[in-house]
Amino acid sequence: MAKKTSRKATAESMAAKQRDISVSEFFAKNRHLLGFDNPRKALLTTVKEAVDNALDACEEAEILPDITVEIVELDAPPAPAKGRGASGAAGKYKVIVTDNGPGIVRKQVENIFGRLLYGSKFHRLKMSRGQQGIGISAAGMYGLMTTGKPMVITTKPGKRKAAHHLELAMDTTKNRPEVTMDVETDDFPETSSGTGTRVEITLEAKYQRGKTSVEAYLEQTGIANPHAEITFIPPANGGRADDDDQPTLAGEESDLAVAEKAKAEHAENAGGLLRTIRLDDRVIFPRTVDELPPETSEIKPHPYGVELGTFLSMLKKTDEKQLGGFFKREFCRVTPAILKGVTDQASTKGNSISGQSWIKSIDHAMAERIYKALQQAKLRAPPTDCLAPIGVRQLLAGLLKGVSAEFYSAATRPPAVYRGNPFQIEAAIAYGGGLPGDEPARVIRFANRVPLLYQQSSCCSFKAVVETGWRNYQMSQPRGSLPVGPVVVMIHMASVWVPFTSESKEAIADYDEIRKEMKLALQECGRKLATYLRKRQKMRREGQRRDVFERYIGEISRACNALTGADAEELYERLLKQARRRTEIADAILDEDGKVIGSKAEANAGRRDPLDGDDGVIILDDPPSPDDSPNAPAPTTTPKAPAKRSTKSPTKKKPARKPSSAGKKKTKAPTTKKKPKRSGAAEKPRVRVKLQAAGESQANLFS
């Protein structure tokens, strides 16, 4: 799926220098490092890799991602025996991930899917998803090892070109791909872009619902990537409890039509809000933003973030001949003036250096002195255009989709730096509505748009949530724990280098700078929430006030009529108008500072888009009741709001599968095709959120 264009010799060259290590052996020994600790996690990791790759590929090709994830149960996991952990019992599953990305040219397929640890994201300082590090090939290998089934890849690189169907096994001893089947096929679902890739991996796994399930992962991915539309088709019997023979019947009719219809209906029901759609056989996390994240640039290392050893090896490896050129090319923020100061400080009697000094002449001691002087020099913070935060709007759109609450607020912190690495923290809060009120807050964490599902309590963001004084924001919080209340807290860290606590990359390391930023972001959201809550109280009071006024106005106008002969009706109307005006706060929509940004009446009349305000806060008038879907990880929504805006016509058709026959595909011609653009794109019917809010850094995220 994803193209991995450049390569750095790592495992490969090492293996060549020493002696061949069986990759499968290595893999079997270290599967926990790679996220295949247990069958349940293996399934998630496989989906994760495939989805991350799909998103990366789509974004690189500037295609709005449409991703379908299907899990088919081949062999159900055996019922857990007594005394054995549930995760130990594995079944056999097939994971099918289809995207509408650019496709892959035939000759690259083996390289991309067939080799382990083949990638480029590791060394560069650029914000990218490649956080899980092991790639889809590891998932393929895991599948091959556990079930003996090769990875099946179908890719369509051009609209008019035929799709390739490949079956890919791996020579595990040589870490080389082995193509077992290679045919051209027209059996590829129609996608919006006309191109696309499908990966099928059969593996030993276990499908389970819950906090760390595939579904939760996809849901959170949807929140962090509001520009992507993700459809999840869970295994027929592992899915919903009410899953009887309904899907089959629906499938008979036309999956596609049913899905589209449901989506349109859903949008109508939600009063124009796009939210997670739960159908009998699938879950759709719809696209809520029609613009791709901006592209980020790669940055050079900042001297503060480089260790001595790295510095030395950089000196050794550089092609530059002189110190000045070296610093200019390899580092950021080292200006000639600073370099002069550094070299002056590093110079000793009889060994004076400057920017013109030859690198060859720098010995170890001198390099160390330069390094020290560099660390002491006053340097500007690294550039931050390498960061692409999700953005307040997008955060809100994402949360709105996944979490049904009544109040949403989001905040993006300005970029900050830890150890020379720029990073940016974003936080969002959803409050009230359908969220359970007596449970600890749910914290969802992201690093570079990738959800982190495991090791919550060792994560920096978790600590930041605990350390934030939620009582100031009208919430209860037991000492040293999460706040309790109907609240979902979301934290996103965007950085060129996210510091994870471990290789499994599941928790962000606890740097003071990072935690401080996280707390500041949370406080910002919390303040908005507190303002809202206070304002809500005030609104209630104002409502009562208005009642009082309205009660008396009739009496007053009648008395005045008797006294002066003034028109009682007119007087009543005028006073009523004034009373309404004076208590208009009662039906006001509030912005983050508690300022009135509109009134309910106005909103209902024009059905304002809740995301249109420029405030980082969304407040819904009619949040769904908590009993809407009590068992779902995040309550899905069927708001009772009457349809006010339903002009949105379905603009594209999605491929859909019969849930009963997993392997077979059914295609339909798309009615419309869309060509998304990066920021600045013209408004399309479905554009609901302007991507760049003023003040957000314009940078690019993925490539």
Partner 1 sequence: MAKKTKKTTKKPTSKKRTSKASKKAAGSDGATRPARNPKTTEKTRKRVISLAEGVVKSSLAGREPKLEVPTRALSNTKWNKSRRILQMGSAAQERQLFNLNQSKKFMQTLLHAKGVKELLDRDKTSSLRGMFYQGLHTISGTKEKTFDDQSESDGILEDLEVSLGSLREELHIFAKKRGTMVGNITVVDNGDEIDCRRMGTGGYAIPSICEPSVIQFKDVQADFVLHVEKDTVWQRFNEDRFWETHNCILTEGSGQPPRGVRRMLHRLNKELGLPVICLLDCDPWGHYIYSVIKQGSISLAFESERLAIPDARFLGLRAHDYERCDLSDDVQIDLNDRDIKRAKQILDYPWFKGDRGWKKEIQLLLKNGFKMEVESLITKDISYVTEVYVPERLEAEDWLA
Answer whether 534's CB lies under 8 Å from 472's CB. no
Q: Smallest distance from the beta carbon of 522 to partner 1, in angstroms? A: 36
**Can you read off the two tokens belonging to residue 124?**
């560069």
Q: Smallest distance from the beta carbon of 596 to partner 1, in angstroms? A: 17
Binds partner 1 by CB under 8 A, chosen from 9, 14, 81, 562: 562
User: N- to C-terminal Cα distance for the chain?
Assistant: 14
DSSP string, 243-267: -SSHHHHHHHHHHHHHHHHHHHHHH
- The answer to whether 566 contacts partner 1 (rule: CB under 8 A) is yes
Q: Smallest distance from the beta carbon of 581 to partner 1, in angstroms? A: 9
- The answer to whether 363 contacts partner 1 (rule: CB under 8 A) is no
Q: Smallest distance from the beta carbon of 580 to partner 1, in angstroms? A: 11
Query: Closest CB to partner 1 among 503 and 547?
Result: 547
Answer whether 532's CB lies under 8 Å from 616's CB. no
- The answer to whether 575 contacts partner 1 (rule: CB under 8 A) is yes
Query: Closest CB to partner 1 among 511 and 549?
Result: 549
Restricting to residues 579-638, which ones interact with partner 1 according to CB under 8 A?
579, 582
Binds partner 1 by CB under 8 A, chosen from 123, 321, 540, 574: 574
Q: Smallest distance from the beta carbon of 599 to partner 1, in angstroms? A: 18
From CA 514, how far away is CA 671, in angstroms rounded?
47
Binds partner 1 by CB under 8 A, chosen from 563, 669, 682, 694: 563
The angle subtended at Cα 94 by Cα 118 and Cα 200, nearest 5°, is 45
- The answer to whether 578 contacts partner 1 (rule: CB under 8 A) is yes
HSE-up of residue 536 (Cα within 13 Å, Cβ side): 15
Query: Closest CB to partner 1 among 176 and 551?
Result: 551
What is the distance, to the nearest Å, from the Cα of residue 610 to the centroid of all Cα atoms in its chain?
Answer: 21
Answer whether 375's CB lies under 8 Å from 338's CB. no
Query: Closest CB to partner 1 among 16 and 559?
Result: 559
For residues 668-682, b (16+ Cβ closer than 10 Å) or e, as one string?
Answer: bebeeebebeeeeee
Q: Cβ contacts of residue 451 below 8 Å, gap of 6+?
A: 216, 217, 220, 221, 223, 224, 444, 445
Tokens 């030859």, residue? Answer: 358
Binds partner 1 by CB under 8 A, chosen from 6, 18, 564, 647: 564
- The answer to whether 555 contacts partner 1 (rule: CB under 8 A) is yes
Q: Smallest distance from the beta carbon of 442 to partner 1, in angstroms? A: 39
**Can you read off the two tokens belonging to residue 112?**
């991309």
**In the stretch 519-548, what mask flags binding to partner 1 with x, by CB under 8 A?**
--------------------------x--x
Size of the site for partner 1 (CB under 8 A): 24
Answer whether 443's CB lies under 8 Å from 465's CB. yes
- The answer to whether 648 contacts partner 1 (rule: CB under 8 A) is no
Q: Smallest distance from the beta carbon of 535 to partner 1, in angstroms? A: 18
From the list 97-105, 301-309, 469-477, 577-585, the region that binds partner 1 by CB under 8 A is 577-585
* Amino acid at the residue 120: S
Q: Smallest distance from the beta carbon of 590 to partner 1, in angstroms? A: 21
Q: Smallest distance from the beta carbon of 637 to partner 1, in angstroms? A: 37
- The answer to whether 640 contacts partner 1 (rule: CB under 8 A) is no
* Amino acid at the residue 383: P
Q: Smallest distance from the beta carbon of 251 to partner 1, in angstroms? A: 57
The angle subtended at Cα 372 by Cα 366 and Cα 377, nearest 5°, is 125
- The answer to whether 460 contacts partner 1 (rule: CB under 8 A) is no
- The answer to whether 569 contacts partner 1 (rule: CB under 8 A) is no
Binds partner 1 by CB under 8 A, chosen from 14, 552, 640, 671: 552
Pairing of β 66-75 and β 229-233: parallel
From CA 532, how far away is CA 144, in angstroms rounded?
54
Q: Cβ contacts of residue 621 below 8 Å, gap of 6+?
A: 600, 603, 641
Binding residues vs partner 1 (CB under 8 A): 545, 548-549, 551-556, 558-560, 562-564, 566, 570-571, 574-575, 577-579, 582
